[in-house]
């Protein structure tokens, strides 16, 4: 792969990652209650996310796997467009 194409793909994927992360942070902040000293996450959300953290991808529910796939599709679509 040419160096220029590699750099372009890297930069665009970094852009996509920042967009993904920003959406996640907005979602997370919306789920929290705001307090003068910070954000408070509900115990049910903590339990849910900690269970997902400890779960291998292969053992996630199909709905959870699809959520992860949705996050990856923009990367694959972009890479596919560059490989044509």
The reported pLDDT for the residue numbered 1 is 62
Q: What domain range is 22 assigned to? A: 3-83
DSSP assignment string, 22-62: HHHHHHHHHHSEEETTEEE--HHHHHHHHHHHHS-GGGS-H
Number of other CB atoms surrounding residue 52 within 10 Å: 14
Is residue 12 exposed (0-12), middle (13-18) or buried (19+ Cβ within 10 Å)?
middle
The count of domains in the chain is 1
pTM over 0.75: yes
CB 10 within 8 A of CB 75: no
The reported pLDDT for the residue numbered 42 is 96
What is the pLDDT tens value at each position of the chain, 84 positions in all? Answer: 688 888 999 999 999 999 999 999 999 999 999 999 999 999 999 999 999 999 999 999 999 999 999 999 999 999 989 887
């Amino acid at each position: 792969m040419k160096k220029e194409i590699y750099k372009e793909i890297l930069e665009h994927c970094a852009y996509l990652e920042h967009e993904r992360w920003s959406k996640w942070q907005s979602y997370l902040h919306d789920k929290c209650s705001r307090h003068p000293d910070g954000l408070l996450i509900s115990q049910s959300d903590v339990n849910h996310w900690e269970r997902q953290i400890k779960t291998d991808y292969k053992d996630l529910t199909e709905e959870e796997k699809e959520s992860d796939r949705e996050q990856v599709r923009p990367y694959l679509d972009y890479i596919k467009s560059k490989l044509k």
